[in-house]
């Protein structure tokens, strides 16, 4: 049953930013790559719209730039955007910030099962907002690692509100012209799977994309992740390495593009997270034994995982051996009229300017 949503009043929370300079360490096997070692404590600040609080660490390589809250039993998202030292509720389900923090891709309409025919592109340097018509309905934005190209998953609509994935759209911020590429199997999705299942991601840089090919009824050893060129032609197939965490991950690839994260679903939307070397296609790390949600990369030696204990969700900086180093976000789930009051679903930690 479809639900009409009433947009709440604009919510604002002030965020104090403070911290200490992280130590630096060399990353084995990645020439010239450095990452944070131990870092000093920072303040804990409340996140707008939720009970969550952020461990806001100054001078870390990434910082929380935006997030989306799930509400109404998972039927909608509210997007929140960082503006200086505060987070502000937006008119978007996602307000995705590019690496370097100059651009914001705003996906309108809080309803998750709706693919939109227009998006907003906001230049934070000039303050200009560009509303751009898409050549097909879209969901699922992702920025390239250089912050210049936006990727979206494209659909064909059906009268019963289900959608068929027809390919992907790329758009460079230089000309703001969307390019539709028709490719891949025509998976049909509906309800909660829209914008999540079989969506496209960049495959390390802006020259290739990838997507999960097979559903969960296929044996794990035979499940495939397929890489496509920007011409839509298949370039590579990974088999038996897990699937992508399409429900939570903003991007599966590490900042260098050398590694990407997969997982094997175990309970609900949690699973065993694995790290795959992109060049060889081999799993090089399996992270811990606790079911986790993959929420992104901190740097090439650390991932951001969400782990749930009772009614508390904790986003943590975890090294590739599975050792927890820093709690980044803590959030208590509060019962509400529809499952829970709004709670974090996607977090967008981006490279600083």
Q: Which residue, among 289, 301, 265, has the nearest Cα to 27 in the 3D structure?
A: 301
CA distance 193 to 169: 19
Each residue's pLDDT expressed in tens, for the chain with a length of 353 residues: 333 333 333 333 333 333 333 333 333 322 223 334 445 567 888 999 999 999 998 889 999 999 999 887 667 889 999 987 789 999 999 999 999 999 999 999 998 889 999 999 999 999 999 999 999 999 999 999 999 999 999 999 999 999 999 999 999 999 999 999 999 999 999 988 899 899 999 999 999 999 999 988 899 999 999 999 999 999 999 999 999 998 888 999 999 999 999 988 665 556 789 999 999 999 999 997 676 889 999 999 999 999 988 899 999 999 999 998 899 999 999 887 667 789 999 999 999 86
For residue 158, how far is the Cα from the chain centroid?
A: 27
Helix (H, G, I), strand (E, B) or coil at 337: coil
Q: Which two tokens stand for residue 187?
A: 């998976």
d(CA 171, CA 153): 12
Q: Token match 């599975």: residue?
A: 322
Specify whether the CB–CB gap between 118 and 108 falls below 8 A.
yes
Q: Is there a contact between 330 and 347 (Cβ–Cβ < 8 Å)? A: no
Task: Tell me which DSSP letter residue 221 carries.
Answer: G
CA angle 217, 306, 190 (to 5 degrees): 40
- In angstroms, the CA 160 to CA 63 distance is 40
Task: At 331, list the tokens.
Answer: 């959030």
Q: Residue ranges of the domains in the chain?
A: 12-351
Regarding the domain delimited by 12-351, which CATH topology (the fold level of the hierarchy) does it fall under?
A: Neuraminidase (2.120.10)
CA dihedral 131, 132, 134, 137 (to 10 degrees): -20
pLDDT at 270: 63
Of residues 62, 92, 61, the one with CA closest to residue 79? 92
Distance CA(349)–CA(326), nearest Å, equals: 14
pLDDT score of 249: 87
> In 3-state terms, what secondary structure has residue 278?
coil
**Which residues are registered as beta bridge partners of 26?**
34
Task: State the sign of the Cα–Cα–Cα–Cα dihedral 10, 327, 260, 258.
Answer: positive
The answer to whether the beta carbons of residues 44 and 9 sit under 8 Å apart is no
Q: Please give the structure tokens belonging to residue 121.
A: 């592109």
What is this structure's pTM? 0.85
CB contact at 8 A, 131 and 147: no
Per-residue pLDDT, 338: 63
Closest CA to 105 of 120, 87, 91: 120
């Amino acid at each position: 049953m479809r639900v009409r949503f009433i947009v709440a009043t604009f919510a604002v929370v002030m965020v104090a930013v403070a911290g200490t300079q992280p130590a630096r360490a060399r990353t084995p096997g990645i020439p010239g790559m450095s990452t944070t070692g131990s870092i000093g404590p920072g303040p804990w600040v409340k996140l707008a719209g939720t009970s969550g609080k952020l461990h806001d660490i100054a001078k870390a390589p990434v910082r929380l730039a935006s997030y989306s809250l799930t509400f109404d039993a998972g039927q909608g998202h509210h997007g929140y955007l960082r503006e200086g030292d505060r987070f502000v509720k937006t008119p978007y389900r996602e307000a995705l910030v590019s690496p370097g923090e100059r651009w914001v891709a705003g996906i309108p309409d809080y309803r998750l099962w709706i693919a939109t025919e227009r998006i907003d592109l906001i230049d934070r340097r000039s303050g200009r907002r560009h509303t751009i018509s898409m050549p097909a309905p879209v969901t699922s934005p992702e920025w390239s690692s250089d912050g210049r190209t936006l990727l979206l998953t494209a659909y064909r609509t059906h009268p019963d509100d289900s959608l068929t994935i027809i390919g992907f759209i790329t758009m460079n911020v230089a000309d703001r012209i969307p390019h539709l590429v028709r490719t891949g199997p025509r998976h049909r999705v509906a309800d909660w799977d829209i914008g999540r299942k079989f969506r496209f991601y960049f495959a390390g840089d802006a020259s290739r994309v990838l997507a999960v090919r097979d559903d969960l009824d296929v044996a794990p050893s035979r499940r495939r992740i397929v890489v496509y060129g920007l011409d839509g032609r298949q370039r590579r197939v990974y088999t038996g390495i897990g699937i992508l965490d399409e429900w939570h991950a903003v991007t599966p690839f590490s900042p260098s593009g050398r590694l990407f994260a997969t997982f094997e679903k175990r309970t609900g939307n949690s699973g065993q997270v694995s790290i795959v070397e992109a060049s060889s296609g081999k799993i090089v790390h399996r992270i811990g034994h606790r079911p986790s949600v993959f929420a992104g990369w901190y740097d090439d030696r650390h991932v951001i995982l969400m782990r749930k204990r009772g009614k508390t969700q904790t986003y943590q900086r975890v090294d590739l051996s599975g050792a927890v180093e820093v709690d980044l976000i803590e959030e208590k789930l509060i019962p509400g009229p529809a499952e829970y009051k709004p709670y974090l679903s996607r977090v967008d930690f981006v490279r600083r300017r």
